[in-house]
Structure 1
Amino acid sequence: MDAELDELLAAIGPRLRALRHERGMTLEALSAVTGISVSGLSRLESGKRRPTLELLIPIARAHRVALDRLIDAPATGDPRVHLTPRRHRDGSVLVPLTEYPGRLQVFKQVIAPKPRRLVSHPGYEWLFVLAGELLLVLGEREITLGPGEVAEFDTAEPHWFGPSSDRTVEILHIHGPRGDKARVRASPA
Structure 2
Amino acid sequence: MVGPGASTGARIRALREERGMSLSALAAAAGIGKATLSELEAGRRNPTLDTVYAVAGPLGVPLVALVAEAGDSDALSDDALTAVRLHLLTEPGRTTEVYLVRVRPGAERSSPAHATGAVEQLVVLSGEGRLTYGTPGSEQVVALVPGTHVTWPADVPHAYACTSTEELSAVDVIVTPG
TM-score by length of 1: 0.44
Mark the structure with the bigger radius of gyration: 1
TM-score by length of 2: 0.47
Higher strand fraction: Structure 1 or Structure 2? 2
